Amino acid sequence: MNDSLQGNALDELIHEGRYLYPTNVVEIVERYHAGGEPGVPRSLVLSYADHVLSDLGNRAPYSLTRFSALLDDRVTDAAFWLPNALYRTGPDRISVYPLSWHQRLDGVTDPVEYATVVGADLDRARGIADAGVASAVPKQLLLDAMTVMGPMDRRTAGGLLRDARLSGRIRVDPVQNPDADVRVVPAPAPASSGRSEPTRSTASGAASGIPDRRPRPGTSPAPGHGRSG
């Protein structure tokens, strides 16, 4: 991961202007510095903030010292995702995603895996017991996570999500809405063969439907069934 400031990231942050909140800054920085260890260095986030706040001048919402304090107030060790929280992922490293997401999803490109992991985590945060199928995941949250942990650009993430939808592995509802929900489609149960096991019997062939060709008492064997000579 390149720890030098990225021009595109700076442009996005400057565009935020007075709405430069700590979680927004970390989210943008993390997208442009994805890969390697989970999260980004706190010092790198402060470098971006310093550059942007200086550029904003009198329009800056607060000083770098105030930004640093607000940043630290957002950091948590919670095991599940919470809106607007930041997570400690290592010494001097923070992320907008819990460490558990990084551990399970870093390098993963399948949107179904993201929907499964993130949906189950959202259920835990809401106190919902495991029902076997995870709840819906906001589409934007899923795409953001894919860009950071894949890592990949957003266009690639959107294409993978579309492919998974067209193959019937996930459902996106409503399809064209950027605020759509993404749900994993449960795998169908194995189809029954429809064949029953044959009846087994050790007593006689009659129970299994096989004709009993042994001679009955008092009768002679049918021609061709006696011993020759």
The two tokens of residue 134 are 């995870």
Is the pLDDT reported for residue 224 higher than 70? Answer: no
C-alpha to C-alpha distance for 37 and 41, rounded to whole angstroms: 10
Is 115 or 126 the better-scoring residue by pLDDT?
115
User: Domain 107-184 classified CATH 2.30.30?
Assistant: no
pLDDT of residue 133: 66
Is the pLDDT reported for residue 175 higher than 90? Answer: no
Is the pLDDT reported for residue 47 higher than 90? Answer: yes
Radius of gyration of the chain (CA): 32
Provide, rounded to the nearest whole percent, the portion of the chain with pLDDT above 70: 79
Sorted by where each begins, the domain ranges of the chain are: 7-76, 107-184
The two tokens of residue 19 are 């709405």
pLDDT of residue 22: 94
pLDDT of residue 189: 65
Ranking 47-56, 68-77, 119-128 by mean pLDDT, the lowest is 119-128
